[in-house]
Amino acid sequence: MKRFVIAVAAAVLVFAFGPGAPAFAQSSKPFVAMCTDTNGLGDGSFNDGVWAGLKKAEGEGLASVKVLEAHSMTDYIPNLTGLAEGGSKLVFGVGFLMVEQIQEAAKDEPNTFYAGIDDYFGGNVPRNLIGVSFREQEAGYLAGIVAGEMTKKYYKNSKLLNDKNVIGAVLGMNIPPVERYLAGYIAGARSVDPTVDVRFITVGSFADRAKGKEAALALNDQGADIIIQLAGLSGMGVIDAARERKFFAIGADVDQNAAAPDYVLTSALKGTTMSAYLLIKDLAAGTLKGGENRVFGLKEGAIDIAPFHQFDSIVPAEVKQAVADAKAGIASGKITVPSTLAELGIKQ
Amino acid sequence: MSGFAAVLLAPQLLEATIRLSTPVTFAALAAVVCERSGITNIAMEGIMLVGAFFSAYVGWLTGNPWIGLLGGLVAGAAFSLLFAWATVSLHINHVVAGAIMNILAFGLTRYLMMVCYGRQGTSEAVPLTLDHYRLRVPLLSNIPYLGSAVFNQTPLVYLSLISVAALAWTFARTRFGLSLTASGEHPMALETLGRSVYRVRYQAVLLSGLLCGLAGAFLSIENSNSFTEGMTNGRGFIALAANIAGGWQPVGVFLASLFFGLVDAAQLRAQSIGLIHLPSEIFLVFPYIATIVAVAGLVRKSRPPAAVGKDFNVEGGGD
């Protein structure tokens, strides 16, 4: 009897709190879910961005939504497939680091759409799988223009800048989205300042703030006065370093000005929110197509650069014009931004 | 000035080494205290994380980083008390209990982020950090090369140096140090002499909790200005390696921690010079290779405490 009671209690708990809570499955609106990578919500990056897209869709009555956070890489597959078994029509797998797992989940659950954020699938993409990637290089390019102009021509505009023609970048890991950002950043800086010296350090983690700081300090020791962070939570360390040593940091993915308003010059913006929202909109309208890669860029409204906030007055109109021209050029296809370091002739 | 040697010989490298090694030094000292008393402690990572969270939280609430530091110490001690209870009183396998503590710390800090700040990721910034109390030692800070790195430092860096000396003295010269060593080498002998092994081990774990609390406070309110989830990022485990490479001796683990810090600082700086074109992955494995070499090369000369990791049960006659 006791065992039976425990079994019933366990079953109730599973149904009440498990990934497939019936309340979602029976809703008339499609149930859309996302799995974070191990950084989880609060990364100030794509996890938060995609979740905001889901919430936006929910707010407009397009879907009911849910998020599952992964604590280790072994959670990826159970989370991805569990959500499908719970009735989810579209599951977002966030981050390049689960590119293998999402393909496996898509094979196991053919009746659910899977969208891999930051993934680009080669070959035959299964008809229920969508690769969502971004032309980060375009955002990097805009940030690079600002950095290249400010470090050379306008260094006298701020005490945070020095007379050396050096800028820097701190990378989390060497993965394609990060490389695209960096390639664009270097190309953008070189487009306005051909002799600029761009130095970069990979810290090997997206969650090591102290090491991110150390990398930024090392770059600053070599004269870099503007450093872009491409390192997730490790990037918070770049902002720590900027505050301590008094130089400019450039944020990435979302507007990071609030983290240190006196030191964050601008941010390279990547519209994960927009991409997630657009896919859900397609799903609700019944027009969502799988089996393909969707690439979002400036033209699609998913790439931009953040405002300069309190530094608006020290960034000259000429620089703002250069950014605006670059945007127009990229949108019209006149400017193609390189997406790999190899295209720039940089050996790695 | 962009030469390889110039970067590696610059005093900034030593400063970076000390910044990177300070949290590892505290955690490695914590490991020494625990292991010398017979407790295998792999929970430093988790205790450090809890210490980092509470330092930032209390520092933010009160606006005073010193009270924040106190908060981190109390939290580290309280959290480690749980570990002591599990391993000493409940006789749970030390490694299992430590692993649980680490998982618990990750979940707990994540949960507390939501409770205290209503969001995840990075906490509110403390208005004032311990970095503000950087102390330049007159005269000594003018020594070339060493001066700026060692004698123009922040409070917890000085405290880590003092802790190394204090613990070395404790083990060499005090009754408490002798009890710790006896508890890890031959607990039954200690018990027979009328000293409670449980008591000594509780004290050891508590002391290690305080040290981990300092390591956490360094990460959150001295080296940065807020808490970030998972910000310890494996330093508790590097500390375990430092403990072994340092031969379970305070001065030894300090040197080992410095060595790990140096390797890390050097690889980061070497990447940015651009003189040698190697994939960054090659640089990134340096610290781990150094860890393996250090542990494999040095551990042969030292021996762990005889009773480390073994449960001691008074009622069972020591088994």
ipTM of predicted complex: 0.91
The Cα B155–Cα B218 span in angstroms is: 9
CA dist., res. B71 & res. B53, Å (int): 9
Interchain proximity A174–B281, CB inside 8 Å: yes
Q: Could you tell me if residue A304 is inside a domain?
A: no
Residues A174, B279: C-beta atoms closer than 8 Å: yes
Neighbouring C-beta atoms of residue A63, cutoff 10 Å: 23
**Are residue A289 and residue A219 in the same domain, yes or no?**
no
Residue A309 backbone zone (phi > 0: left; psi -120 to 50: alpha; other: beta): left
Question: How many angstroms separate the CA atoms of B258 and B260, rounded?
Answer: 5
What pLDDT score does A200 carry? 94
CB contact under 8 A, B271 and A222: no
Predicted confidence at residue B318, as pLDDT, reads 57
> Is a pLDDT exceeding 90 seen at residue B249?
yes
* Cβ atoms within 10 Å of A258's Cβ, excluding its own: 12
**A43 domain residue, yes or no:** yes
Which of the two residues, A265 and B5, has the higher pLDDT score?
A265
The minimum CA-CA distance between A334 and chain B, rounded to whole Å, is: 32
Lowest mean pLDDT among A123-132, A135-144, B31-40, B274-283: B274-283
Mean pLDDT, rounded, of chain B: 91
Nearest to A71 among B23, B106, B121 (CB): B106
A to B CB pairs, distance under 8 Å: 117
Instruction: State how far the Cα of B303 lies from the Cα of A267, in Å rounded to an integer.
Output: 52
- Distance (Å, whole) CA B189 – CA B195: 9
Residue A215 within any structural domain of the chain? yes
Query: What is the CA A320 to chain-centroid distance, rounded?
Result: 24
Across the interface, which of A205, A218, A237 has its CB nearest the CB of B272?
A218
A60-94 confidence digits (pLDDT tens): 999 999 999 998 889 999 999 999 999 999 999 99
Could you report the per-residue pLDDT of A143-158, keeping only the tens digit for each? 999 999 999 999 999 9
Domain assignment of residue A243, yes or no: yes
> Model confidence over B84-117: pLDDT tens digits?
999 999 999 999 999 999 999 999 999 999 999 9
- Over the stretch A293-314, which tens digit does the pLDDT of each residue have? 999 999 988 999 999 999 999 9
**CATH code: domain of residue A255:** 3.40.50.2300
Cβ of residue B20 closer than 8 Å to a chain A Cβ = yes
Tell me the nearest-neighbour CA distance from A290 into chain B, angstroms.
32
pTM of the predicted model as reported, rounded to 2 decimal places:
0.88
pLDDT band, residue A100 (cuts 50/70/90): very high
Is A201 within 8 Å of chain B by CB?
yes
Statement to judge: residues A247 and A120 lie in one domain? no
From the candidates B271, B277, B281, which should be mutated to test the interface with A, based on the most A CB atoms within 10 A?
Answer: B271
pLDDT classification of B273: cutoffs 50, 70, 90: confident
Task: Give residue B277's pLDDT.
Answer: 65
Whether A253 and A285 map to the same domain: the answer is no
Tokens 């090694």 locate to B21
Give yes or no: residues A188 and A322 share one domain: yes
Q: How confident is the model at residue A10 (pLDDT cuts 50, 70, 90)?
A: low
With an 8 Å Cβ cutoff, are A210 and B223 in contact?
yes
**146-205 in chain B: CB under 8 A from chain A:** none
A293: helix, coil or strand?
Answer: strand
- The shortest C-alpha distance from B305 to chain A (Å) reads 33
Are residue A190 and residue A321 in the same domain, yes or no? yes
How much is the pLDDT for B289? 85
Residues A184 and A330 occupy one common structural domain = yes
| Three-class secondary structure of residue B3 per DSSP | coil
The pLDDT-based confidence of B317 (bands split at 50, 70, 90) is low
Same domain, A152 and A218: yes
**Domain map of chain B by residue range?**
4-134+146-301
pLDDT of res. B209: 98
Name chain B contacts of A41, Cβ cutoff 8 Å: 120-121
Tell me which residue in A42, A205, A243 faces B233 most closely, judged by beta carbons.
Answer: A205
Is the pLDDT assigned to residue A1 strictly greater than 80?
Answer: no
Residue B288 has a pLDDT of: 80
The predicted structure's pLDDT at residue B276 = 60
Mean pLDDT within A126-155: 96
**The pLDDT of residue A124:** 86
Helix ranges restricted to H, chain A: 2-17, 22-25, 46-59, 76-85, 99-108, 136-152, 176-192, 209-221, 235-245, 272-285, 317-332
- Does residue A102 lie within any of the structural domains? yes
Task: Calculate mean pLDDT across residues A313-324.
Answer: 96
Spatial distance between the Cα atoms of A76 and A94, rounded to a whole number of angstroms: 10
Once rounded to an integer, what is the mean pLDDT over residues B110-137? 92
Do A190 and A333 lie in one domain? The reply is yes
Handedness of CA A329, A334, A335, A340 (dihedral sign): positive
Q: Is the domain of A14 the same as that of A123?
A: yes
Whether B54 has a pLDDT exceeding 60, the answer reads: yes
**% of chain A with per-residue pLDDT over 70:** 92
| pLDDT tens-digit readout, A268-295 | 999 999 999 999 999 999 999 999 999 9
Q: Is B268 on the interface with A (CB under 8 A)?
A: yes
Nearest-CA distance from B121 to chain A in Å?
A: 4
Residue of A nearest to B24 (CA): A210
* Dihedral, CA of residue B126, residue B132, residue B134 and residue B136, to nearest 10: 180
Same domain for A174 and A51? no
What is the predicted pLDDT for the residue at A21?
41
Residue B145 has pLDDT above 50, yes or no: yes
Average pLDDT over residues B279-285: 79
> How many percent of chain A have pLDDT more than 90?
81
Contact B229 A48 (CB under 8 A): no
- By percentage, how much of chain B surpasses pLDDT 70? 94
Across chain A, mean pLDDT equals 90
Q: Residues A200-235: pLDDT tens digits?
A: 999 999 989 999 999 999 999 999 999 999 999 999
Class of the B4-134+146-301 domain? mainly alpha
The tokens describing B17, both together, are: 């080494």
What would the pLDDT profile of A17-61 be if each residue is shown by its tens digit? Answer: 444 444 444 457 899 999 999 888 888 788 999 999 999 999 999
Query: What band does A12 get if pLDDT is binned at 50, 70 and 90?
Result: low
- Residue A198 inside a domain? The answer is yes
Q: Is pLDDT of A179 > 70?
A: yes
Range of A186's domain? Answer: 136-270+316-344
Rounded average pLDDT over B164-175: 97
- pLDDT over 50 (residue B234): yes
A208: contact with B, CB 8 A cutoff: yes
pLDDT level of residue B293 (50, 70, 90 thresholds): confident
Chain B residues in contact with A43 by the CB 8 A cut-off are 120-121
Q: Smallest Cβ distance to A213: which of B23, B223, B274?
A: B223
A80 and A207 assigned to the same domain:
no
Q: Is residue A42 part of a domain?
A: yes
Partner-chain contact B264 A207, CB within 8 Å: no
- Clarify whether residues A116 and A141 are in a common domain: no
Domain count, chain A: 2
Chain A hits for B10, CB-CB cut-off 8 Å, are: 221
